[in-house]
Amino acid sequence: MRLSALALTVTLAAGAALAHEGVQNPAVMERMDLMKGIGAETRALGEMVQGKTAFDPVRAAEARAALTEAAARIPSLFEARETDPKSEALPAVWEDWTGFVAQAEAMEAAARDLQTGSAQALRNSFADLGQSCRACHEDYRLDD
């Protein structure tokens, strides 16, 4: 896959810890935590794809399962229009709810389609997952 896109996905997965500080609204915290978990699993896979860590089919399969499950939870955790000064969710999430849910479903499909049997197979299937993050963030998350 294109290395720049991969690097971007890994950076995106890594960059978020600070965004959490000072969040008041527990519902916003919960959806941020979901994304943070998604970020951590994606990073684990991205590092295997990049060769920063050794390919581990068991860990990769765990990440695939966690990402598939997490993607399925996105709609329920974002549905209520909860706000917080620290939130990076754009109003478009609720103004275009159908489109937002479609992006969550696209991520769920990409996660389910991850191939974790070999490093090469993982590499080939990882691009679609990264694309699903970027597509949603572009329209529904601040600064992306």
Contact residues: ligand HEC, CB under 6 A: 12-13, 16, 19-20, 28, 31-32, 35-36, 38-39, 42, 74, 87-89, 93, 100, 103-104, 107, 129, 132-133, 136-137, 140-141
Contact residues for 60 (Cβ-Cβ < 8 A; gap 6+): 45, 48, 114, 116, 122
Contact residues for 82 (Cβ-Cβ < 8 A; gap 6+): 25, 27, 28, 31
Question: Closest distance between ligand HEC and the C-beta of residue 61, in Å?
Answer: 16
Question: Closest distance between ligand HEC and the C-beta of residue 133, in Å?
Answer: 3
Question: Closest distance between ligand HEC and the C-beta of residue 117, in Å?
Answer: 20
Full 3-state SS string of 32-86 = HHHHHHHHHHHHHHHHHHHCCCCCCHHHHHHHHHHHHHHHHHHHHHHCCCCCCCC
* Residue 20, annotated as binding a ligand: no
* Residue 137, annotated as binding a ligand: yes
* Residue 133, annotated as binding a ligand: yes
Question: Closest distance between ligand HEC and the C-beta of residue 124, in Å?
Answer: 16
Q: Which residues are annotated as a binding site?
A: 133, 136-137
Q: Which residues are annotated as a binding site for heme c?
A: 133, 136-137
